[in-house]
Every structure is written in C-alpha cells, then in structure tokens.
C-alpha cells in the first residue's frame, strides 16, 4: 500500500511494489492477478477499518469532528486512505476501485448510522465535508484551518455535521 499511497496508482509500478515487499513481480501477479487487483486489495484494506467514521451512532457528529480535528492537526500521522485517494483519482480504473471501496466500507457504515431520510446521500455529504476539511487543512494548508485550535475546529465541524447526519446521534 505504501507505494500506492506515496506515488498513486498510475505511477506505482509492480516491480517497485515487489521490491519494497521483498517479493518478485511474478508473485504479485500470481496472488493478485494484476496491479489493479493488488490496488483493489490495498484500497479495501485502507477503507475497511474505521478511521474518522466510527461504529457508534451516539454522538456521531461530535466523535467524527473530534477525530478529524486530531488526525489533521499539524504533526499528526497522515491519513493513508485520504492520501491514497488524492494520489490515485486521476486514473479512471483506480477511481472506480476507490468509489466502490468507499461506498462498500465507510459509506455503508456511515449510512447505517445516519438518522432520517436519504441516509446514503447524507452519508456521502458527511464524507465530502470530511474529505474537504482534510484536503484544505493538511494538503493545501490554508492558514485558518492549519492554525485552528482542535477544540474550536471540532466544535465547528460538529455543528456542520449534525444537520447532515441527524440530530438523533447527538443525544441518542
């Protein structure tokens, strides 16, 4: 996954991936079928576990906002799923794999926690807010977001997420 995260799908080569993993390119093709198959496995592995979107409906907007503020703070470890997304979307095949994985994993998980009508649409809007905040705070590094206090940022984000995800999460 490191090669895809660092270089994106298009620029990651099977030989470089194999060298980094200490195997041969033939082994990668044998076990994954192709670079695309390996990428699909890496993407599923990246988006499968909960990172910003948890599993509990109680206090969901606040929990997501807090986690995002902490995980995007200066000096925080990078969020690999977001880097993988950012560096691979210029390739149509990679974008389709990313879309499927996001919808299957984090999109489905979040939609299952959303209270109210159109849970899939509302979940995707929540994910868009998360991705946009991550991009502007860590990649672009806009001054206001990069220098924002985590508590203040978390409070503002939670206020934006509550109407999208549903009020039921804030109080149970």
The neighbour count for residue 138, using CB atoms within 10 Å, is: 20
Question: What proportions of the chain, in percent to the nearest 5, are helix, strand and coil?
Answer: 75, 0, 25
Alpha-carbon gap, residue 78 to 68, rounded angstroms: 11
pLDDT value at residue 167: 62
pLDDT value at residue 97: 93
pLDDT value at residue 83: 85
Closest CA to 44 of 15, 18, 82, 81: 81
Alpha-carbon gap, residue 101 to 107, rounded angstroms: 9
Closest CA to 97 of 52, 35, 13: 35
Kindly state the tokens that stand for 130: 């998360």
pLDDT value at residue 75: 87
Judge whether 170 and 63 are in contact, CB under 8 Å: no
DSSP label at residue 55? S
pLDDT (tens, 9 = 90+) of the chain, 172 residues, equals 788 888 889 998 899 999 998 999 999 999 999 999 999 998 888 888 888 898 888 899 999 999 999 999 988 888 788 888 888 988 999 999 999 999 999 999 999 999 889 999 999 999 999 999 999 999 999 999 999 999 999 999 999 999 999 864 334 4
The pTM (predicted TM-score) of the whole model is 0.84
pLDDT value at residue 77: 84
Q: Which domains does the chain have, with CATH numbers?
A: 49-171 (1.10.357)
Residues constituting the chain: 172
The neighbour count for residue 70, using CB atoms within 10 Å, is: 13
């Amino acid at each position: 996954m490191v090669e895809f995260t660092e270089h994106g799908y298009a620029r990651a080569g099977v030989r470089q991936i194999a060298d980094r993993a200490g195997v041969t390119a033939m082994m990668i093709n044998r076990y994954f079928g192709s670079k695309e198959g390996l990428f699909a496995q890496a993407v599923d592995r990246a988006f499968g576990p909960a990172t910003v979107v948890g599993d509990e409906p109680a206090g969901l907007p606040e929990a997501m906002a807090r986690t995002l503020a902490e995980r995007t703070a200066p000096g925080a470890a990078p969020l690999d799923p977001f880097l993988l997304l950012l560096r691979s979307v210029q390739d149509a095949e990679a974008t389709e794999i990313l879309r499927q994985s996001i919808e299957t994993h984090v999109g489905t998980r979040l939609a299952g926690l959303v209270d109210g009508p159109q849970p899939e649409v509302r979940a995707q809007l929540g994910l868009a807010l998360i991705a946009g905040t991550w991009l502007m705070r860590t990649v672009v590094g806009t001054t206001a977001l990069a220098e924002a206090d985590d508590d203040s940022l978390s409070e503002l984000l939670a206020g934006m997420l509550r109407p999208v995800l549903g009020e039921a999460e804030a109080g149970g």
